[in-house]
């Protein structure tokens, strides 16, 4: 896989239905989305614009960090999407393993959540069955991630969950105008090894 980072990958919705075929982009880092699915990343010449359905199953940057030598992901924009009844909403996921990878310059903008279990989540402790990485910490550095105009309902009480690496904490995470509720009452937020700021109306109250 090429070593250069992904450049200026933009994802936004288009009103198309029924397209469930995989879509691939030539590039350097991995982008995975479903309905439609995207694998690959933007080429080095920006911008690259990719269309998603108005309704998608999840938006996932990852899994990253399964290899020590791995290209980074940078300058990703995801905008104007609706997620309904999904397990995850806007997710960044990395293995809890040593890696020189990184994620930086990500913007999630204008997203609607409808009964989503994990509307906003960064999971840097991914280790299925604890097979390869018990007791390890993710080496992927996550910084400059912005969530802007994200609103709707969470299927779980914790609507915002930043579970970052104990070795390389997430930095400069920004919440702007985020309003998520749980069963007609305020949801909660959880932050572990995460730093950043919030502005505008932010519910649940930011824990950064």
Q: Which CATH superfamily is domain 9-203 in?
A: Single-stranded right-handed beta-helix, Pectin lyase-like (2.160.20.10)
pLDDT digits (tens, 9 = 90+) for 133-172: 777 899 999 999 999 999 999 999 999 999 999 999 999 9
Beta-carbon neighbour count of residue 39 at 10 Å?
13
Determine the pLDDT at residue 56: 47
pLDDT, position 120: 98
In this prediction, residue 3 carries a pLDDT of 38
Share of the chain above pLDDT 90, in %: 51
For the entire predicted model, the pTM comes to 0.77
Tell me the percentage of the chain whose pLDDT exceeds 70: 71
Strand locations in the chain (E): 9-13, 22-25, 32-34, 37-40, 48-52, 55-56, 58-64, 73-84, 88-95, 102-116, 118-126, 141-154, 158-163, 170-182, 185-186, 188-192, 194-203
Extract the tokens encoding 178: 């985020």
Residue 183's pLDDT is: 92
Residue 94 has pLDDT above 90, yes or no: yes
Q: What is the pLDDT of residues 21-59, one digit of tens each?
A: 433 333 333 344 333 333 333 333 343 334 343 444 567
- Of the candidates 107, 56, 61, 117, the residue with the CA atom closest to the CA atom of residue 82: 56
Residue ranges of domains in the chain: 9-203
Range of weakest confidence among 65-69, 104-108, 126-130, 160-164: 126-130
């Amino acid at each position: 896989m090429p070593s250069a980072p992904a450049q200026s990958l933009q994802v936004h919705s288009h009103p198309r239905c029924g397209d469930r075929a995989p879509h691939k982009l030539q590039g350097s880092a991995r982008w995975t989305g479903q309905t439609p699915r995207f694998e690959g990343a933007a080429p080095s010449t920006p911008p690259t614009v990719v269309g998603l359905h108005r309704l998608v199953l999840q938006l996932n940057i990852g899994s990253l960090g399964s290899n020590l030598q791995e290209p980074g992901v940078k300058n990703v924009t995801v905008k104007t999407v609706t997620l309904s009844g999904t397990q995850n909403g806007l997710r960044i996921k990395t293995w809890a393993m040593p890696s020189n990878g990184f994620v930086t310059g990500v913007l999630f903008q204008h997203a609607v959540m409808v009964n989503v279990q994990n509307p906003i989540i960064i999971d840097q402790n991914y280790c299925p069955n604890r097979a390869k990485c018990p007791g390890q910490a993710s080496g992927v550095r996550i910084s400059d991630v912005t969530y802007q105009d994200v609103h709707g309902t969470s299927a779980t009480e914790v609507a915002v969950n930043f579970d970052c690496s104990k070795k390389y904490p997430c930095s400069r995470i920004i919440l702007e105008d985020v309003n998520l509720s749980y069963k007609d009452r305020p949801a909660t937020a959880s932050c572990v090894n995460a730093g950043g700021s919030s502005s505008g109306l932010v519910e649940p109250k930011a824990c950064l």
